[in-house]
Every structure is written in C-alpha cells, then in structure tokens.
Amino acid sequence: MKNTQIQQTILDILSKIAPEIDPATVDMGYSIQEEFEIDSMDFLRVVTAVDEIFGIAIPESDYANISTMDDMVAYIEEKIPV
C-alpha cells in the first residue's frame, strides 16, 4: 500500500471524529491531537480504527511513535503485512 493511501485512510478515520477540520490546513509533521483538536480518548479511537482496518495491533507503548501523521503513516507502512 502506498503512503498516500495509508494517509488517506487515516484522514477518513479522522473525518468521522473531527469532521470540521479541513485536512488541507493540517501540518502532517505535527501532533495529530493538536492539529485535529482531539483529546486522548479520540486518539485512542483513531488507533483502534487503524488497528482494525490495517489488521495490525499497535501497543500502547508505541503511541509516542505515532503522534504525528507522518510518523503514523511510516509506522503503519512498516507493520502492515506485505
């Protein structure tokens, strides 16, 4: 899967949690929580959805490595089964 597809999938998840945020205004190298103005419970929902869609299990201990969009995309790309 291409990076752009992964990113789009995550944006789709976020569009259901923070539908008023326009992704075009978001800095992908910055904290997802801050850029999308979501709280830690929302972030947990994003991760749960990512787990389900991509079929990977992201442990809580890795959350610090997926805090920005760019980091999350790179993390998923590495983890998804080829």
Partner 1 sequence: MDFPTLKKATNNWKETPNLKDYQKTYNTFAWETIRKELDGLPNNQGLNIAHEAVDRHANSAQATKTAIRWIGKKGNKRNISYLELKAETNRFANVLEGLGIQKGERVFSLAGRIPELYIAALGTLKNTSVFCPLFSAFGPEPIMQRLGRGKGSVLLTTTKLFKRKVQALLPQLPDLKYVLLADATEDVDEKVLSFARLMAAASTEFTIPPTNSEDSALLHFTSGTTGMPKGAIHVHNAVQTHYMTGKYVLDFQPNDIFWCTADPGWVTGTSYGIIAPLTHGITNIITEAEFDALRWFETLQEEKVNIWYTAPTAIRRLMRLGMKPKDAYDLSHLRLIHSVGEPLNPEAVVWGESALGMPIHDNWWQTETGGIMISNFPDVEIRPGSMGKPLPGIEVGLVQVEDSKITKVITEAGETGELALKPSFPSIFRTYLNEEERYQKCFVDGWYLSGDLAKRDADGYYWFVGRAKEIIKTSGHMVGPFEVESALIEHPAVAEAGVIGKPDPMAGELVKAFVSLNTGYEWSEELRLELMGFTRKKLGAAVAPKEIDFLEDLPKTKSGKIMRRLLKARELGLPEGDTSTLEK
Residue numbers at the binding site for partner 1 (CB under 8 A): 15-21, 33, 37-42, 44-45, 59-61, 63-64
Rounded to whole angstroms, the Cα distance separating 82 from 67 reads 24
Least distance from partner 1 to the Cβ atom of residue 70, Å: 17
C-beta of 17 vs 74, nearer to partner 1: 17
Q: Identify which of 70, 61, 69, 59 has the alpha carbon closest to the alpha carbon of residue 36.
A: 69
C-beta of 9 vs 15, nearer to partner 1: 15
C-beta of 18 vs 74, nearer to partner 1: 18
Alpha helical stretches, state H, 18-39: 32-35
